[in-house]
Each structure stands twice: as structure tokens, then as C-alpha cells.
Amino acid sequence: MKIIKNLVSTSKYNIKCPYSMNAEFIVVHNTANDASAKNEIAYMIGNNNQVSFHYAIDDKEIVQGIPENRNTWNAGDGGSGKGNRKGLSIEICYSKSGGNKFIEAEKLAAKFIAFKLKEKGWDISKVMKHQDFSKKYCPHRTLDMGWQRFLNMVQSELNLLNKPSTGSSTEKILYRVQTGAFSKKSNADALLAKVKAAGFDTYMVQSKDGLYKVQVGAYSVKSNADAMAKKLKAKGFNVYITTESGSPVTSSPAPKKTLKVGSKVKVKPGAKTYTGGNLSSFVYNTVYDVIQISGNRVVIGKVKAVTAAIHKDNLLVQ
């Protein structure tokens, strides 16, 4: 928290803060003025009145005028009054006219007070108001708007400070090897089937933005992810590495298209003919028509020109 210090000169300690102090609670005030925090502190440390406070807070800044280990003449409860001798005093600025500057000043004050409570290991019961120590109706505008409301503001800020951090910085970074990201799950399913067919262990996750991502491993060491990416690239897949996590999604393979005469098919890479013969390499990159099917034996070709007979398990319906 940024705190601007404009501390009173030690030569004025006898006027402004004559006693050493170990603060036991916080005392909240409103300035009943329309000056900035800087100006309130400059005025307070510059005059010779026995009036003092530790902090002034406006809509933008927290300015300190008296060290926390000195007392302040803030509470109007006398030379040995608890408010004056044990209270950490805070003035909220712009309370005379109110409006947005005051609203913002109160918000910043709530943040700062929560920060102080946390720092000192105090709870909300340590937040007092000037009125608790003398008859003065102060902090006037905060009281008008509701004291409990202000305490609630401080409490919410304190809750935020006490929230255990989600620990994203301590979370282990994993390098995830990814072959594709799709908004349509069926597209991800199709790619996943291809990656699987190429012999990789693969799975699908859904990212926070809803994309279906096909991934092939998550590695704590980046070079291992790079090695897997290289293997995938060699098989013709697009690959990139991401550290973003996602939730697992079950891939439901696209419904199998039925193989029938007239179907468009491709021969699985490396497959042989029905009788075990070799095929020319261009065959694997060509889409053929199914000309005839008898049991597992499927005759494929271009229109009516027969190219080969292939086992049906070695055909990919397009």
C-alpha cells in the first residue's frame, strides 16, 4: 500500500505528539473540510495547535503526518484519554461537501484500515470512531451514511486480504503439446481420432474460453514437450505448445460412416492389398470409390477402373 509520508518535525513533538505510543486500536474521523489529504497533513504539521492525527486519506492518497509510535491529539478525551493515547487516528477527507470524492476517500480508507488490521493482527472490533471517546459527532458523514455500513466495507477488504491466494505463482507450469483447438467439438473429435490412428496417446481438454483442444501429453520439462512436438510434426500434424490448462473432455468419436458401394475411401497409410501385396505410395494419398464389396474384401478404384482389393479394415471412409 502506497503511503506518502510528510512527518512532523521532531521539534514539534512536544505540541503534536508528546508521548510515545503502542497503538491498540484505530480511531476514525471525518475532516469536516474540503481539503486534500496532502493539504490536511501540511496544515496540521505546520500549525502550533494541539490537534494532530496520524493519517489523512482522500480519494487518491494516504498521507501520514505523525509516526505510529507517537500519540496524537485526535479524540478530545484529554491528556490521558484512551483515544488520544492509544488510538491510531485516521481522517477521511472531503466530508464537508461529500459527493464522489468523499465516497472514494471512504473506500480508500476502508482499504487502508483493513491493511492496518491485518498488519497488526487485529479484527474489526479494533475499529473505533471519534464519537466513542467524546461527545463529538464524528466521523459525521460516515455516521450519516451508516457506521455499520463502513465497518462492513472494512470487513470485506479484510476478507480479501485474508483470502488464501489461489497460488497461481506456485502452481507447477506444464508444457502441453497440442495439435489443434476447435470451437466445434466434432472437429476436435475428428482430429483426436487421426492423432490416435497415427499411434499417439491423445486426449481432449476444454479451455476456459470454451475451445476443445486435442493434446498429446503435458510435460514439466519443456525439452520433453519439444521432443513430442517433433514426433507429431514428423507425422504431419500441426503442433504447438501451451502452458494453459483446461478441463478434461471425453472424446466421442464421430459416428462411423458406413462403407458401401459408391463410398469415397482412402487407404490407411502403409496398408497392403487384400492378398498382402504392396501398393504404390501415391495410393495412400488418393481418394477412391468403392466399386465392389464382398465380405471383407473391398474393391476400390477410380470410377470403374479397378485399382486394388483392400481389406475393409484398411479403408478410411471419407
Interacting residues toward Zn ion by CB under 5 A: 29, 130, 138
Q: Smallest gap, in angstroms, from Cβ of residue 81 to Zn ion?
A: 13
Q: Look at strands 127-129 and 62-64 and give their pairing.
A: unpaired
> 28 or 153, CB closer to Zn ion?
28
Q: How many CA atoms lie within 13 A of 49 on its CB side?
A: 9
Residues 6 or more apart whose CB falls under 8 angstroms from that of 311 comprise 271, 274, 296, 297, 298
Q: Give the whole-angstrom CA distance, residue 78 versus residue 175.
A: 66
Q: Smallest gap, in angstroms, from Cβ of residue 74 to Zn ion?
A: 7
> 29 or 70, CB closer to Zn ion?
29
Q: Give the whole-angstrom CA distance, residue 310 versus residue 294.
A: 11
Q: Smallest gap, in angstroms, from Cβ of residue 222 to Zn ion?
A: 59
Q: Smallest gap, in angstroms, from Cβ of residue 66 to Zn ion?
A: 15
Q: Smallest gap, in angstroms, from Cβ of residue 159 to Zn ion?
A: 27
Q: Which residue has the cell 462411423?
A: 256
> 139 or 217, CB closer to Zn ion?
139
Helical segments of the chain, H only: 13-16, 37-46, 82-86, 100-120, 140-145, 147-162, 185-197, 222-234
Q: Smallest gap, in angstroms, from Cβ of residue 116 to Zn ion?
A: 17
Instruction: Tell whether omega for the bond before 139 is within 30 degrees of 0, i.e. cis.
Output: yes
> 29 or 266, CB closer to Zn ion?
29
Angle at 127 between CA 124 and CA 128, to 5 degrees: 145
> 141 or 194, CB closer to Zn ion?
141
> 29 or 311, CB closer to Zn ion?
29
